[in-house]
Homo-oligomer: A and B are copies of this chain.
Amino acid sequence: MSQKIAILGASGYTGAELVRLIATHPSMEIAALSGNSKAGMSMAEVFPHLRHLDLPRLTTIEEVSFEGIDLVFCALPHATSQSVIRELPRDVKVVDLSADFRLRDLQAYKTWYGKDHSAPDLQSEAVYGLTEFYRDEIAGARLVAGTGCNAATGQYALRPLIEAGVIDLDRIVIDLKAAVSGAGRSLKENLLHAELSEGAHGYAVGGVHRHLGEFDQEFSAIAGREVKVQFTPHLLPANRGILATIYVDGEAEAIHRALSERYAEEEFVLVLPQGEHPSIRHIRGSNYCHIGVVADRIPGRAIVIAALDNLTKGSSGQAMQNANLMLGLEEGAGLRLAPVFP
């Protein structure tokens, strides 16, 4: 029997990606799609690549009837997300893809997002959505907060290393390269093709990117002490994919072992043979995360490289994986699409 799904914010890239995934999902059915700025339009007009699907027309959020809806994917901007989710019926499960419920500490939210949280009770209820590390809590949750796509990439590489105690917690550098769809379908000069193609540059340099809030929260919790990483994202002239090159102090072999053991049973996180490392072109359009470990020539240092697709494993695929758990479905349902290469 099909689960009835509503997607709020379906006119953005993560919304469209959810529709793409549901298109081949064995037991989900789209009952409602909202997109306030494009309400009244068909999805074929907004996203012609979904033209072959029989989809409900875009409406405003107010027009969505939540009766009979099993689960809502909320792909709205942060701040908006809070106020919308607060008003949803309590019997509807929610996977939020925004930043609104990622930070458990209200003060941290204010620090990174610049305003008070308007739904603190919901925040305390929300479960952090990094599936492989919060699986049980997610299965029982009503509200799951999808992680930042950069935050997910860094955590897949680093959590097992912090847990295993195989790296120096004070010397972690995450140099991340992100494709442009992570910035959404927003009209900004630096996202134009003419600006970005044949370009590459850092952004939020110096430790000011908001996903640091997630790194701080999660890594400190695991370590049982404050952990602060260095994190510099860069924009790539590409559409999909995140590559995180992570410099750590530790033995490559122990690091590789910690990762291999941790992910041995995981379907979507693959640890490459030691010495190999991944490329974003090999995970494009898929829910797979590839991780590699290489020893540096300087003894006691290693490089860990992780790659995932920001729109899939980094957001909408992760959201689907969590939704499957929340609805009691098979966790990987609809998520085994092989990467598209070339």
Most chain B C-beta atoms within 10 Å of own C-beta, residue among A16, A199, A283? A199
Identify the closest chain B residue to A229 (Cβ): B298
A192 an interface residue at 8 Å Cβ cutoff?
yes
Instruction: Give Cα distance in the complex from A20 to B295, angstroms.
Output: 32
The answer to whether A181 and B201 have CB atoms under 8 Å apart is no
In the docked arrangement, what's the CA distance between A301 and B196, Å? Answer: 28
* Residues in B whose Cβ lies below 8 Å from that of A197: 193, 197-198, 237-239, 342
Which residue on chain B has the smallest CB distance to residue A268?
B52
* A198 B298 Cβ-Cβ under 8 A: no
Alpha-carbon distance between A19 and B338 when the two chains are bound, in angstroms: 9
* Interface-centre pick from A53, A230, A241 (highest chain B CB count, 10 A): A230
Cβ of A305 under 8 Å from chain B? yes
Proximity bits, A170-197, B CB within 8 Å = 1, else 0: 0101010101110001011101111111
* Contact present for B278 and A201 (CB under 8 Å): yes
Give per-residue flags for A225-248: 1 if the beta carbon is below 8 A from chain B beta carbons, else 0.
Answer: 000101010101111110101010
A233 to chain B, nearest CB (A): 10
Q: In the complex, A275 Cα to B279 Cα: how many Å?
A: 30
Say yes or no: B340 contacts A340, CB within 8 Å: yes
A212 partner residues in chain B, CB cutoff 8 A: 297
B198–A238 CB distance below 8 A: yes
Contact A342 B48 (CB under 8 A): no
Given A185-B194, A200-B238, A283-B49, answer yes or no on A13-B342 (Cβ-Cβ < 8 Å): yes
Q: Is A337 an interface residue (CB 8 A)?
A: yes
Task: Check B205–A294 contact: CB distance below 8 A.
Answer: yes
Chain B residues near A301 (CB-CB < 8 A): 230
Interface pick from A64-72, A126-134, A284-292: A284-292
Nearest CB of chain B from residue A29's CB, rounded to whole Å: 15
B residues in contact with A285, CB < 8 Å: 285, 340
**Complex alpha-carbon distance, A212 and B297, angstroms:** 10
Selected from B236, B243, B296, the residue in CB contact (under 8 A) with A230 is: B296
Other-chain contact of A228, B228, B286, B298 (Cβ < 8 Å):
B298
Question: Is there an interface contact between B50 and A247, defined as CB atoms closer than 8 Å?
Answer: no
Question: Known interface pairs A230-B301, A238-B237, A298-B228. Does A49 touch B202 (Cβ–Cβ under 8 Å)?
Answer: no
Alpha-carbon distance A16/B173, docked complex (angstroms): 36
Residues on B with C-beta less than 8 A from A208 are 297
Cβ contacts under 8 Å, A10 to chain B: none
Within 8 A of B (CB), among A1-39: 13, 16, 19-20, 23-24
Q: Tell me how far the C-beta of A173 lies from the nearest C-beta in chain B, rounded to whole angstroms.
A: 5
Task: Give the docked Cα–Cα distance between A197 and B240 (Å).
Answer: 11
A206 proximal to B (CB < 8 A) = yes
Tell me if A24 and B337 are in contact (CB < 8 A).
Answer: yes
| Chain A residues at the B interface, C-beta cutoff of 8 Å | 13, 16, 19-20, 23-24, 47-53, 171, 173, 175, 177, 179-181, 185, 187-189, 191-202, 205-208, 212, 228, 230, 232, 234, 236-241, 243, 245, 247, 267, 270, 272, 275, 277-286, 288, 290, 294-298, 301, 303, 305, 307, 311, 336-342
